[in-house]
Amino acid sequence: MIPFLHVGRLLIPTFGLMVATAMVCAYFVLRADLLRRGLAPDKPSAAATAEAFIAVPCLAGIIGAKLYHDLQSPADFFAHPFQQLFSAYGFAWFGGLLAGFTAFVLLAKLRRIPLLEILDAGSPAAALGYGIGRIGCLLSGDGDYGIPTSLPWGMSFPNGLVPTTQRVHPTPIYELIAACAIAWWLWRLGARQVAARRAAASARAPQSTVLHPPGEIFAAYLLFTGAERFLVEFIRINPRSFLGMSNAQAAGVLSMLAGAALWWYFARHQRVVATAPVLRQQSQRRRGKR
């Protein structure tokens, strides 16, 4: 593995390089979603909004992931606080999720953008960015790999930040594949949501259409990403704590429960609405009666 790239005297950590790549990819996905949802009137404003909603939550997420990981072992952290804080490895997914989500919500409130709408728009970007960022874990060999395996695609990390000469499951690759599939599915769900709204306002729309409520895509994101993390933890080397689960696995369960509850709630509140032609006919009838 290649924990660092040497460019002259410059030392570039591959984990940080892949996090930056993930942010760029997530930016383009979010910008496209903002435009198709009408949350930004044009490309320049969509670009500015996407930059803010990628950079601020990502920075908060990195800080949160680092602090959450370090504080899981308080004795080690307080024994060597500076060494732990500024080490090149040790980032917890759940801490990053909490901090990034909090920053995302506060930014939406500050910019007066409907929270559920921007959460829906950000879900495909978040899923894709997470998967790409995981390749940074693979390149640096920071200990996010899995248990030993005899499968032909098993990998060893003799030069990683957390080295191992055993052939182990390359779980970051599994997560990349799963994350790309989740991002694609969320994008398709978003397309269906946007199409339903446009159909309701179209002059050639049918008499009625199902209007998918805001927040539905975010609920699916919580459900699918929680399931992915729960399953992959069965072959990860993380220590077990709560009911035989790792911390990340327990967080995955909570994410799945929250996503399923939100999905059920939004499914119950889906509305079949009269479309634009029907509304116009009703308005004309009311005028005729007058």
Task: Write down the pLDDT at residue 124.
Answer: 97
**Would you say residue 95 has pLDDT above 80?**
no
Task: Write down the pLDDT at residue 196.
Answer: 81
**Would you say residue 278 has pLDDT above 50?**
no
User: What does the CA dihedral 269, 272, 275, 279 come to, rounded to 10 degrees?
Assistant: -90
Rounded average pLDDT over 35-40:
91
Confidence of residue 289 (pLDDT cuts 50, 70, 90): low
Rounded average pLDDT over 214-218:
92
Task: Write down the pLDDT at residue 66.
Answer: 75
Rounded average pLDDT over 23-37:
95
Q: Give the tens place of pLDDT for each residue, 125-137.
A: 999 999 999 999 8
Q: What is the DSSP letter of 246?
A: -
Confidence of residue 175 (pLDDT cuts 50, 70, 90): very high
**Would you say residue 282 has pLDDT above 60?**
no
Rounded average pLDDT over 45-56:
93
β pairing state of 164-168 and 208-211: unpaired
Task: Write down the pLDDT at residue 279.
Answer: 43
**Would you say residue 230 has pLDDT above 50?**
yes
Q: Give the tens place of pLDDT for each residue, 242-275.
A: 778 888 898 899 999 999 999 988 877 765 544 4
Buried b (16+ CB within 10 A) or exposed e, 217-250: bbbbbbbbbbbbbbebbeebbeeeeeeebbbbbb
Neighbours of 109 (CB within 10 A): 10
Buried b (16+ CB within 10 A) or exposed e, 111-150: eebeebbbbbbbbbbbbbbbbbbbbbbbbbbbbbbbeebe
Q: At a CB cut-off of 8 Å and minimum separation 6, what does 51 contact? A: 27
Task: Write down the pLDDT at residue 178.
Answer: 97
Task: Write down the pLDDT at residue 47.
Answer: 94
Task: Write down the pLDDT at residue 238.
Answer: 82
- Say how far apart CA 116 and CA 105 lie, in whole Å: 10
Task: Write down the pLDDT at residue 205.
Answer: 53
**Would you say residue 290 has pLDDT above 60?**
no
- pLDDT > 70 in the chain, percent: 80
Residue type, 173: I
**Would you say residue 182 has pLDDT above 90?**
yes
Q: Give the tens place of pLDDT for each residue, 6-29.
A: 888 888 888 889 989 999 999 999
Asked if residues 123 and 104 have their Cβ atoms less than 8 Å apart, the reply is no
Q: How far apart are the first and last CA of the chain?
A: 78
The CA-CA-CA angle for residues 1, 180, 246, to 5°, reads 65
How high is the mean pLDDT of the chain?
A: 83
Neighbours of 91 (CB within 10 A): 25
- Say how far apart CA 168 and CA 156 lie, in whole Å: 6
Q: How many CA atoms lie within 13 A of 265 on its CB side?
A: 13
Rounded average pLDDT over 98-118:
91
Task: Write down the pLDDT at residue 58.
Answer: 87
Give the CA distances from residue 260 to residues 222, 227, 229, 274, in Å, rounded to whole numbers and listed in that order: 8, 11, 15, 28
